[in-house]
Chain A
Amino acid sequence: MFADRSYRIVVGALAALGLAFLAFPVIVTVVASFEGSSFIAFPPTSWSLKWYGEIGSINRIVEATWISFQVAFASAALATLLAGLAALAIVRGRLPLGGALATVLASPISLPMIAIGMALVQFFIAIGVAFTWWSLVVGHMVLVVAYPLRTIISSLLLAERSQEEAAASLGASPLTVFRTVTLSQIAPGVVSGFMFAFLISFDNYPISLFLVRGSLTTMPIEVFNYINQSFDPTPAAFSTVYMVVLTILIAIAEKRYRIISLALPR
């Protein structure tokens, strides 16, 4: 924001260094995924694409990714529904202590993550449903509910109430007003909240660790185990695919729904 030349140079240089630090392991991982030998060396001694063909050999990666996808989808969808209703109640219902309630609902993200896993596994064992698909979904829901709650509250606060009033004064029924006006106003918050929740669940390791057993397993658990037991560059190929897909998804979502500006705390 300053025209001053020395200021621009210094801030630009420091920012470039910081961004280089952020990008460095990403670039190194992508380069390492094209390694020709079975061990990671830098720079790679020879080049090949064979590790991309090996991704399927990461333990039970295919089943685990499918389970992760289902669990992330279910927990994000249900968490978004609960959070959407709660956000409407807090913002539009003018709840007393609404702010405090929102803090309580979002508080799991400020606890150590393994605390949630530890507490839930004891609880699930006590009621006899531990290590089931649904118990995994519930565990992830507890963690991710905070994200759609924050984004939907943000978009409700930004929404123009006068549009709803205009629709109502033109004779629209309350249900029609909600469906046509309110819902489209909060759509960006719903989409970005769902996306956040999905990604956080898909990536979770510390809660899943306590809630999986036997054939119930997730992508992060399998990848982690593979990294621990072998040193070939297969995880680098997996990581590259993962990051490329993710970046494309986020770029699309930002273009369509401005998810980043909604996620910024206000």
Chain B
Amino acid sequence: MPGTNTLAKNAVVGPGVDAADKAGPFWSRLALPGRAGLLVLPALAFMVVFYLYPVSMMLQTSVEPAASGATAAKAGGITFQHYGEVLDSRRMTASLERTIRLSAISTLITFVIAYPIALFLVGARPWLRTAILVFTFASLAASIIVRNYGWLVVLADGGPVNSILIAVGIIEWPLRLVYSEGAILVALVHYAMPFMILPIYGALVRLTPSQWEAAQSLGGSPWTVLRSVVLPLSMPGVFGGVTLSFAIAASAYVTPLMLGSPASAFASQVAAEELLVQLNFPRGSAVIVLLTLCTFAVIGLYAFAVRRIGQTHVRG
């Protein structure tokens, strides 16, 4: 394998070349033939053909004139008619609004529940920490269908929540808990938990003991230190967990399908329905593009806000 050869050679002479590379103009650092950099090509070629091209094809479909009729097939040009249709449809705009709203609420709840777990993990005994991490990891990897099924059972008419409420006399007849926005919210929080716990824990373990102790030795109570030192220092982990949880919730498809009803459809469901049932590719693509834009906009706004708060924090 010539590729591997050059790679290893490159790896061996690495440090010496490093300094020279950094000194040169940026084009001197471009991957030259025979260099290890070429190893990126198979992955890049694969992703261009099977990811970037198909996605750009979908973008193009969403602005093509004429929905499904063959009349204007080769008319060419760009139209925003499909986006107009989506924004005119009460059901579609409602699904977009619901997706973003429930994703934001579920992310907030996930953060509130996950942060104490991450804090606890940092101070826990090693065996307990490993046990909790393996459990968290197993629930991250467990099938989403299996996990949502668990909530179908928990919230069922004869499930434990209704049984407990009836047993303690709060209600007389089972409540209809499944197939609602509330059920979707609970399952979204549950699904996102490991994605919030792990990055926050990852940020907290990197704090040095002196960072925990310094502020405390100056007389701060644990709560003051937590708020003014630990929380700001763990922000990189919080940021990662929040953006990941939000993105996962906003692109949720299986969860609202299993625990919701047609009246609580998410944007992904509406898009899939356009494609699989209505066979309207342009409109389905338009919904997905709008959903992606909304998701990125919210994450961008959040990143902007975090940066602004960080700056005022430093200045003040």
- Partner-B contacts on A (CB < 8 A): 1-2, 4, 6-8, 11-12, 14-15, 17-19, 21-26, 28-29, 32, 39-43, 82-83, 85-86, 88-90, 92-96, 101, 104-105, 108, 110-116, 118-120, 122-123, 126, 138-139, 141-142, 145, 149, 161, 164-165, 168, 173-175, 177-178, 182, 196, 199, 202-203, 205-206, 209-210, 220, 223-224, 227, 235-236, 238-239, 242-243, 246-247, 250-251, 254, 259-260, 263-266
Contacts and interface: CB of A to CB of B under 8 A. Distances in A.
Given A115-B55, A264-B202, 16 more contacts: A2-B212, A2-B225, A15-B121, A22-B135, A86-B43, A93-B37, A96-B26, A96-B29, A112-B250, A112-B267, A118-B271, A122-B61, A164-B12, A203-B142, A203-B145, A265-B198
A86 B284 CA distance: 33
Interface string B11-23: 1101100100100
A254 B137 CA distance: 10
Interface of B: 1, 4-12, 14-15, 18, 21, 26, 29-31, 35-44, 46-47, 50-55, 57-58, 61, 113-114, 116-117, 119-123, 130, 132-139, 141-147, 149-154, 156, 158-160, 162-163, 190, 193, 198-199, 201-202, 207, 209, 212, 216, 221-223, 225-226, 237, 240, 247, 250-251, 253-254, 258, 267-268, 271-272, 275-276, 281, 284-285, 288, 291-292, 295
Contacts of A93: 7, 10, 31, 35-40
A263 B258 CA distance: 29
A168 B16 CA distance: 14
Nearest to A174: B8
Contact of B135 (A23, A138, A259): A23
B61 A224 contact: no
Contacts of B225: 2
Nearest to A243: B142
Which residue of B10, B38, B141, B295 has the most chain A CB atoms within 10 A of its CB atom?
Answer: B141
A123 to B, nearest CB: 4
A105 B141 CA distance: 22
A24 B266 CA distance: 25
A180 to B, nearest CB: 11
A224 B7 CA distance: 46
18 contacts: A15-B119, A22-B193, A28-B150, A40-B159, A42-B158, A93-B10, A93-B36, A96-B29, A112-B292, A112-B295, A114-B272, A115-B58, A116-B51, A118-B271, A205-B253, A227-B258, A239-B150, A260-B198
A224 B5 CA distance: 48
A182 B7 CA distance: 11
Given A122-B54, A122-B61, A242-B143, A1 B150 contact: no
Contact of A89 (B21, B36, B160, B163): B36
A155 B244 CA distance: 22
Q: Is the interface of A mostly helix, strand, loop or mixed?
A: helix
A168 B12 contact: yes
A120 to B, nearest CB: 5
B2 to A, nearest CB: 10
B41 to A, nearest CB: 8
A210 B271 CA distance: 12
Pairs of residues from A and B, 7 with the lowest C-beta to C-beta distance, nearest first: A25-B150, A174-B8, A93-B36, A15-B120, A93-B37, A112-B251, A14-B116
A177 B5 CA distance: 10
A196 B272 CA distance: 26
A123 B52 CA distance: 11
A21 B12 contact: no
B194 to A, nearest CB: 8
B160 to A, nearest CB: 4
Contact of A239 (B139, B146, B223): B146
A59 B212 CA distance: 55
A21 B288 contact: no
Given A88-B7, A239-B146, A264-B199, A29 B153 contact: yes
Contacts of B21: 94
B161 to A, nearest CB: 9
Contact of B37 (A7, A22, A94, A220): A94
Given A41-B158, A206-B268, A220-B143, A22 B40 contact: no
Given A22-B190, A111-B251, A114-B268, A165 B134 contact: no
A113 B272 contact: no
A115 B39 contact: no
Contact of A114 (B46, B123, B190, B253): B253
